[in-house]
Amino acid sequence: MDDVKNPNLPAWERVFDEAAAAGYGGLELGPYGYVPLESAQVATALADRNLFIVAGTIFDDLVSPANGENLLRQTDEICAVITRLPQPEQVPGQRFRTPYLTVMDWGHDKRDFAAGHSDRAPRLSDPDWAGMVANIKAIAELARSKYGVRSVVHPHAGGYIEFADEIERISSDVPAELAGFCIDTGHSYYAGMDPVETLKRYADRLDYVHFKDIDERVFRRVLGERIRFFEACAQGVMCPIGRGVIDYPAVKQALEEIGYHGFITVEQERDPLSVAGSLADVKESRDYLRSVGF
């Protein structure tokens, strides 16, 4: 879950332990405020587990002009930490080296309850859209100019950048030299798009990728309910990779065709109350991905 105020979140050290135990080489810093913004402490914790950090995250209201100062403060604090943490080597063909700053819009009830429903989700007015674009550009410029960090816009279920028309509009309004995309297979499917085609469509902007899978039976049920996105996650709409509807052999082929050489982060959205099964789930996802060639 991305709500750092949730009292049931596991300790961040446990997340690091389980990422290492499941066979992953690295992970993200997580939502702002979850992992301490103390680079020495976190760097030691990573080194002790032979892990690296690939990205930090802004998961907040990108629309409101009044939130602009808060967004830039988060950008400053996150980038100051992630650039001091262990990093993987840059590989040939990887356009931008880690760490990335993943930028997601969040915090709007009207869109949260309309996640997955392009036909009924309200769109931003032109002035509000322009305000969101200005905030994204300001975040990306600060991250780039002060820290050398590449920002990637992450379309997210329940935010104002979710559906095909919004992704296309952002691709036009935020220049490629300023920010790329982090395409998430699970969020793409949730928004009614084909994850494989979405990866191909934005190949020239694809700097980072998130993997999830979707339980089609739960997905069809929650689409018929008035439900927040993370409430749907608590009901198991996002399942371990390999159990769900997304065709990962086809995803692998698509990434090979477009020559993607960046990093992929596997995510498992779940209710923190069921954290006891998290290690088994993320290991199952990793084992499945290995079995299909990743």
pLDDT at position 108: 97
Q: Which CATH architecture describes the domain 12-291?
A: Alpha-Beta Barrel (3.20)
- pLDDT confidence tier of residue 1, bands split at 50, 70 and 90: very low
Euclidean distance between CA atoms 242 and 220, whole angstroms = 18
145-163 pLDDT per residue, tens: 999 999 999 999 999 999 9
Q: 46-50, 59-63, 280-284 — which is least confidently predicted?
A: 280-284
Is pLDDT of 122 > 50?
yes
Q: What pTM was computed for the model?
A: 0.95
163-209 pLDDT per residue, tens: 999 999 999 999 999 999 999 999 999 999 999 999 999 999 999 99
pLDDT at position 253: 98
- pLDDT confidence tier of residue 276, bands split at 50, 70 and 90: low
pLDDT at position 269: 72
Q: Domain residues of the chain, as ranges?
A: 12-291
pLDDT at position 150: 98
pLDDT at position 2: 58
